[in-house]
Amino acid sequence: MDTTERRVVDAVDVDGMLQYLGELVAIPSVTGHETPAQENVAAQLAHCGLEVDVWELDFEELANHPAFSIEVPRQHGLGVVGTLGGEAAGPGRDLIYNGHVDVVPAGDSANWHYDPWQATLADGRIYGRGSADMKGGLCCALYAAKAIHDAQVQLRGKLMVQSVIGEEDGGVGTLAAIMRGYRADGAVVVEPTQLTVAPAQAGALNFRVTVPGHAAHGSMRTEGVSAIEKFGPLYTALMELESERNRDVQDPLYSGYDVPFAICIGRVRGGNWASTVAESLTFEGRFGVAVGEDVLAARRAFEERLFSAAEQDPWLRNHPPQLEWWGGQFEPAHIAADHPVVQTVQSSFGEITGTRATIAGVPYGADMRLLVNEGNTPAVLFGPGDVRKAHQPDEYVPIDDLVATARTLALVALRFCGHKGD
Amino acid sequence: MDTTERRVVDAVDVDGMLQYLGELVAIPSVTGHETPAQENVAAQLAHCGLEVDVWELDFEELANHPAFSIEVPRQHGLGVVGTLGGEAAGPGRDLIYNGHVDVVPAGDSANWHYDPWQATLADGRIYGRGSADMKGGLCCALYAAKAIHDAQVQLRGKLMVQSVIGEEDGGVGTLAAIMRGYRADGAVVVEPTQLTVAPAQAGALNFRVTVPGHAAHGSMRTEGVSAIEKFGPLYTALMELESERNRDVQDPLYSGYDVPFAICIGRVRGGNWASTVAESLTFEGRFGVAVGEDVLAARRAFEERLFSAAEQDPWLRNHPPQLEWWGGQFEPAHIAADHPVVQTVQSSFGEITGTRATIAGVPYGADMRLLVNEGNTPAVLFGPGDVRKAHQPDEYVPIDDLVATARTLALVALRFCGHKGD
């Protein structure tokens, strides 16, 4: 690191960052209810010295985009992008830091040891819903930009910090930023990769299956057909499909995972009365798609398995389940492992931490695929915390991860965008 | 039949009864929302010439009764009993006709060919939610009493027509009538028995089981434990228990049923997000209890099977499911097959229809068990319609059944209570 780089890295305001993360965690920005959090981030970006663009999302226009997908209906939503730099003379590359403010529900708070909506510092970690996924990463991006601003370094290319909504239900916020014209030569999506640098993300397609039954009085259940009973063989068939699809994964970026392309059935609702045979059951889940796999072919494989399982059942053969590809439809995405944005993150991380960064794919869908596939912006995932703790009770982010990420991101911006005097 | 009996039977106002049934079906008195229907029946009882007792249920007092059970919380509820007779000199037996106005939800109306909340006459049937279970039977009881009144026959014993709430969720209305002091020498509960005379009813115990899981991001589902997956072996174990319990049923009153004492799991709710491993699942159902079986012993058999299935699973062994006996707790009940109320219904039915009545038990729980076990009132089930069509789309009651029931009930009252001049 040269003296400017050192000055910027040292300028990262760790205390301020942790305090601000606490402020963000306390805003329960469950997907679909992001506006107060977005307003807060917009103000904070301005406070950090960035030029802030805030706009109302046009959901009608967004819905016409082929990559649009959404689960939680919304009337309103804000786009927020803070921009720093571009003022120094000479050529420079533009860079995007992208983080989402929406979080999944906390579930039953009795399963938490800490208040999910209150950041708690314990054991060198910050606990709370969204601390890892991904308010932690977003705070790192803000405070990396703030450090550059505070150190009065002028970037050649522009650094854009995007705070987006709706990542958990399809990525409408990142899509809106792309449609507003935001593009760059590289991007870092600050997902909780445990500081792994990920040039690849799996796809994830949300599905909903409705299984028909036939109601009857529970005392004469054999006169009806239970949709709850009929769920069983369909569940088994989909779990077999998952097992087959994950048996021989060759991609070295995914060699570290048991089940890199998981089928997870996360929600089931069947019947409406204890003593009435269930006339209907609906289950919802996510279907993991391999990097490089064609999404339409993956859907076909799923459909074939589901409907061939239904064919085996005398009732379902004549009353087939209904399948919807609904909500988040995350395509897989990847960029070259030697792309400059990958190399810059990897080398900067090495200099900040003295540790060689791991390069691996992630098994989850993320906004990376919109940046790469729709926004023509080569993107990498890199951020603090462990996705294994995300969507769980007692979600947390290690403070060491936060510090390493913020400092790395500050250095990456200096090197990727260039700065006056370099 | 003597001339008085013939005069009363001929006085049954079939057109008025069908019209009134239409009026009742159009009141969507789903369990917990019975007050408008009860007000309507009270007015109709008065219109039919009965003395009407209407009172507000005291849920606090009722909750202290050991036989109290309820699923749908209520602030208010009405008791309604119309009384006819008792004015003629000489000894007579008192008789209760008992029918409930609450109905189960219609479910998805797309599964109906007719509006569930509008009586439709087609193919000699009246379609609509509650037409069979059991507004049809209740109308028969009303119009049987009305025929006696219209024919100006004075009963020796009292005929009490009870319109009750909450049968579907535990029988609070019948319990309230018993606690108000209503008792008799015999009772007919006008459930849809298809005109079978039933001196026995199975028990039905509602249960709720909560299965714990451990949340995780759906892309890394193996980091969590799916409560939806863990439901599978518990479901299988309970279905095996049902099969064993129904293998060698010796009771001749139940020889006509495939599965007289069914376990029906009617409702399941698991997880809260498609791409989050379900941290919890709850299922609710009804557990059939044989006539004469001890309820506590039956519960123990259920508990043992559930928890021994949990013991087989490494996760559930350490995170056992939670079981609640919740809502309707219908004990089984029976009376002697040669009790006078059975014989009177059987012989009256034979004279009205020229057909020998079938004597058989019913597999479902009903308010009969409260009358017998708590009210010291020997009761029989007898009424129009088929319980197989109850709790289903396109529930209906055959008009022929309605006519036969109303006429039979009129004759039963004359013979059981006695009348002036007999």
The model's pLDDT over B387-409, given as tens digits with 9 standing for 90+, comes to 888 878 999 999 999 999 999 99
Beta-carbon separation of B270 and A274 below 8 A: no
CA distance A305 to chain B (A): 19
- Which of chain B's residues have a Cβ under 8 Å away from the Cβ of A200? none
- Which of chain B's residues have a Cβ under 8 Å away from the Cβ of A271? 265-268
Task: Please answer whether residues A342 and A199 qualify as being in contact, where contact means their C-beta atoms are separated by less than 8 angstroms.
Answer: yes
- Which of chain A's residues have a Cβ under 8 Å away from the Cβ of B207? 274
> Is residue A37 located within the same domain as residue A116?
yes
- Which of chain A's residues have a Cβ under 8 Å away from the Cβ of B70? none
Interface A-B, measured as beta-carbon pairs within 8 A, has a size of 236
> Is residue A168 located within the same domain as residue A289?
no
- Enclosing H/E stretch for A221: none
> Is residue B115 located within the same domain as residue B253?
no
Over range B192-209, report the average pLDDT. 96
Phi–psi pair at A328, nearest 5 degrees: -55, 120
Closest CB to A218: pick one of B111, B232, B262.
Answer: B262
Beta-carbon separation of B262 and A111 below 8 A: no
Domain final position from A330, A363, A391? A330
- Give the model's pLDDT for residue B4: 96
CA distance A323 to chain B (A): 14
> Is residue B209 located within the same domain as residue B168?
no
Asked if the C-beta of B285 comes within 8 angstroms of chain A's C-beta atoms, the answer is: yes
Check whether B89 has a pLDDT greater than 80: no
Distance, C-alpha A356 to centroid of its chain: 24
Closest CB to B266: pick one of A223, A274, A328.
Answer: A274
Task: Please answer whether residues A212 and A283 qualify as being in contact, where contact means their C-beta atoms are separated by less than 8 angstroms.
Answer: no
User: Can you tell me which residue has the tokens 């204890």?
Assistant: A274
Is-catalytic flag, B167? yes
Phi–psi pair at B274, nearest 5 degrees: -55, -40
Report yes or no on B291 lying in a domain. yes
> Is residue A217 located within the same domain as residue A288?
yes
User: Can you tell me which residue has the tokens 């039905």?
Assistant: B204
Closest CB to A273: pick one of B216, B266, B274.
Answer: B266
Rounded CA separation A243/B49 (Å): 71
- Give the model's pLDDT for residue B29: 97
CA distance A91 to chain B (A): 40
Task: Please give the residue of chain B at the shortest CA–CA distance from A286.
Answer: B275
> Is residue B188 located within the same domain as residue B216?
no
- Enumerate residue ranges in chain A where pLDDT < 70: 89
- Give the model's pLDDT for residue B323: 98
- Give the model's pLDDT for residue A108: 87
Using DSSP, state whether A353 is helix, strand or coil: helix
Over range B360-380, report the average pLDDT. 95
Beta-carbon separation of B221 and A262 below 8 A: yes
Rounded CA separation B417/B96 (Å): 10
Domain that holds residue A320: 204-330
Distance, C-alpha B123 to centroid of its chain: 26
Rounded CA separation B320/B303 (Å): 12
CA distance B147 to chain A (A): 33
Domain final position from B278, B300, B330? B330
Using DSSP, state whether A295 is helix, strand or coil: helix
Closest CB to A220: pick one of B218, B328, B388.
Answer: B388
Of the CA atoms within 13 Å of residue A353, those in its CB half-sphere come to 22
Rounded CA separation B255/A360 (Å): 65
- Angle between the B3-10 and B136-150 helix axes, to the nearest 10 degrees? 130
Task: Please answer whether residues A286 and A204 qualify as being in contact, where contact means their C-beta atoms are separated by less than 8 angstroms.
Answer: yes
Rounded CA separation B386/B125 (Å): 12
Give whole-number Cα distances, B359 to B192, B193, B235, B315, B336, in Å: 14, 10, 34, 49, 11
- B188: β partners: B97, B380
Report yes or no on B243 lying in a domain. yes
Beta-carbon separation of A228 and B265 below 8 A: yes
Check whether B70 has a pLDDT greater than 90: no
Task: Please answer whether residues B85 and B416 qualify as being in contact, where contact means their C-beta atoms are separated by less than 8 angstroms.
Answer: no
Task: Please answer whether residues B150 and B143 qualify as being in contact, where contact means their C-beta atoms are separated by less than 8 angstroms.
Answer: no
For residue B134, is the peptide bond before it cis, meaning its omega torsion is within 30 degrees of 0?
Answer: yes
User: What are the structure tokens assigned to B296, written together?
Assistant: 């506590």
Domain final position from A330, A345, A367? A330
> Is residue A192 located within the same domain as residue A242?
no
Q: What is the DSSP letter of B261?
A: T
Check whether B204 has a pLDDT greater than 80: yes
CA distance B298 to chain A (A): 16
Check whether B156 has a pLDDT greater than 90: yes
The residues, any chain, with a CB within 8 Å of residue A158's CB and separated by 6 or more, are: A83, A84, A85, A86, A92, A94, A95, A184, A417
Strand spans (E) along B158-312: 158-164, 186-189, 200-201, 203-212, 263-270, 280-289
Rounded CA separation B368/B186 (Å): 11
Report yes or no on B16 lying in a domain. yes
Report yes or no on B422 lying in a domain. no
> Is residue B164 located within the same domain as residue B23?
yes
- Give the model's pLDDT for residue B135: 98
Report yes or no on B341 lying in a domain. yes
- Which of chain B's residues have a Cβ under 8 Å away from the Cβ of A365? 219
Beta-carbon separation of B387 and A111 below 8 A: no
Phi–psi pair at A379, nearest 5 degrees: -130, 155
Selection from B164, B161, B174 nearest residue B52 by Cα: B161
Beta-carbon separation of B214 and A286 below 8 A: no
CA distance A66 to chain B (A): 22
Give whole-number Cα distances, A135 to A97, B162, B220, in Å: 13, 62, 20
Assembly ipTM: 0.83
Asked if the C-beta of A218 comes within 8 angstroms of chain B's C-beta atoms, the answer is: yes
> Is residue B251 located within the same domain as residue B369?
no
Closest CB to A202: pick one of B219, B264, B271.
Answer: B219
Beta-carbon separation of B216 and A388 below 8 A: yes
Beta-carbon separation of B362 and A219 below 8 A: yes
Torsion of CA A306, A311, A315, A318, to 10 degrees: 100
Asked if the C-beta of A362 comes within 8 angstroms of chain B's C-beta atoms, the answer is: yes
Closest CB to B219: pick one of A71, A274, A363.
Answer: A363
- Give the model's pLDDT for residue B1: 92
Rounded CA separation A195/A384 (Å): 6
Radius of gyration of chain B (CA): 23
A5, A34, A94, A102: which is the annotated catalytic residue?
A: A102
Torsion of CA B235, B239, B244, B247, to 10 degrees: 180
Rounded CA separation B398/B386 (Å): 9
Report yes or no on A91 lying in a domain. yes
- Which of chain B's residues have a Cβ under 8 Å away from the Cβ of A393? 215, 279
Selection from B125, B193, B113 nearest residue B383 by Cα: B193
Rounded CA separation B199/A244 (Å): 56
- Enclosing H/E stretch for A275: none
Rounded CA separation B392/B328 (Å): 19
Asked if the C-beta of B395 comes within 8 angstroms of chain A's C-beta atoms, the answer is: no
* Structural domains in chain B (count): 2
Check whether B65 has a pLDDT greater than 90: yes
Amino acid at B193: T
Using DSSP, state whether A249 is helix, strand or coil: coil
pLDDT tens digit string along A313-367? 999 999 999 999 988 888 999 999 999 999 999 999 999 999 999 999 999 889 9
Beta-carbon separation of A392 and B208 below 8 A: no
- Label residues B358-389 b or e (16+ Cβ within 10 Å = b): ebbbbbbbbbbbbbbebbebbbbbbbbbbbbb
pLDDT tens digit string along A239-256? 999 999 999 899 999 998
Asked if the C-beta of B274 comes within 8 angstroms of chain A's C-beta atoms, the answer is: yes
Rounded CA separation A8/B53 (Å): 85
Interface of B with A in 40-59 (CB under 8 A): none
Beta-carbon separation of A206 and B274 below 8 A: yes
Helical spans, DSSP H, in A284-391: 295-311, 314-318, 340-353, 368-373
DSSP secondary structure string for all residues of B28-43 = --BTT--HHHHHHHHH
- Give the model's pLDDT for residue B365: 87
Beta-carbon separation of A217 and B391 below 8 A: yes
Asked if the C-beta of A232 comes within 8 angstroms of chain B's C-beta atoms, the answer is: yes
Asked if the C-beta of B110 comes within 8 angstroms of chain A's C-beta atoms, the answer is: no
Phi–psi pair at A177, nearest 5 degrees: -65, -40
- Label residues A46-73 b or e (16+ Cβ within 10 Å = b): eebebebbbeebebeebeeeebbbbbbe
For residue A220, is the peptide bond before it cis, meaning its omega torsion is within 30 degrees of 0?
Answer: no
Over range B98-109, report the average pLDDT. 94
Report yes or no on A157 lying in a domain. yes
Counting every residue, how long is chain B? Answer: 422
The residues, any chain, with a CB within 8 Å of residue A19's CB and separated by 6 or more, are: none
User: What are the structure tokens assigned to A246, written together?
Assistant: 């994950």
Is-catalytic flag, B258? no
Interface of B with A in 2-41 (CB under 8 A): none
Closest CB to B202: pick one of A219, A257, A272.
Answer: A219
The overall longest dimension of chain A from CA atoms, in Å, is 83
Instruction: Specify the CATH number for the domain of residue A274.
Output: 3.30.70.360
> Is residue B178 located within the same domain as residue B100?
yes
- Which of chain A's residues have a Cβ under 8 Å away from the Cβ of B265? 226, 228, 271, 278
Torsion of CA B188, B193, B197, B198, to 10 degrees: -80
B167, B168, B331, B386: which is the annotated catalytic residue?
A: B167
User: What are the structure tokens assigned to A307, written together?
Assistant: 């409907």
Asked if the C-beta of A107 comes within 8 angstroms of chain B's C-beta atoms, the answer is: yes
Closest CB to A269: pick one of B105, B107, B269.
Answer: B269
Report yes or no on B33 lying in a domain. yes
Instruction: Specify the CATH number for the domain of residue B45.
Output: 3.40.630.10
CA distance B88 to chain A (A): 42
Asked if the C-beta of B365 comes within 8 angstroms of chain A's C-beta atoms, the answer is: yes
B66 burial via Cβ count (<10 Å: 0-12, 13-18, 19+): exposed
The residues, any chain, with a CB within 8 Å of residue A198's CB and separated by 6 or more, are: A191, A253, A359, A360, A361, A362, A368, A380, A381, A382
Amino acid at B361: G
Q: What is the DSSP letter of B252?
A: G
Interface of B with A in 243-262 (CB under 8 A): 257-259, 262
Check whether B185 has a pLDDT greater than 80: yes
> Is residue B319 located within the same domain as residue B382?
no
Beta-carbon separation of A217 and B267 below 8 A: no
Asked if the C-beta of A219 comes within 8 angstroms of chain B's C-beta atoms, the answer is: yes
Rounded CA separation A418/A153 (Å): 10
Rounded CA separation A236/B129 (Å): 36
- Label residues A282-302 b or e (16+ Cβ within 10 Å = b): bbbbbbbbbbebebeebbebb
Mean pLDDT of chain B: 95
- Give the model's pLDDT for residue A386: 94
> Is residue B294 located within the same domain as residue B408?
no
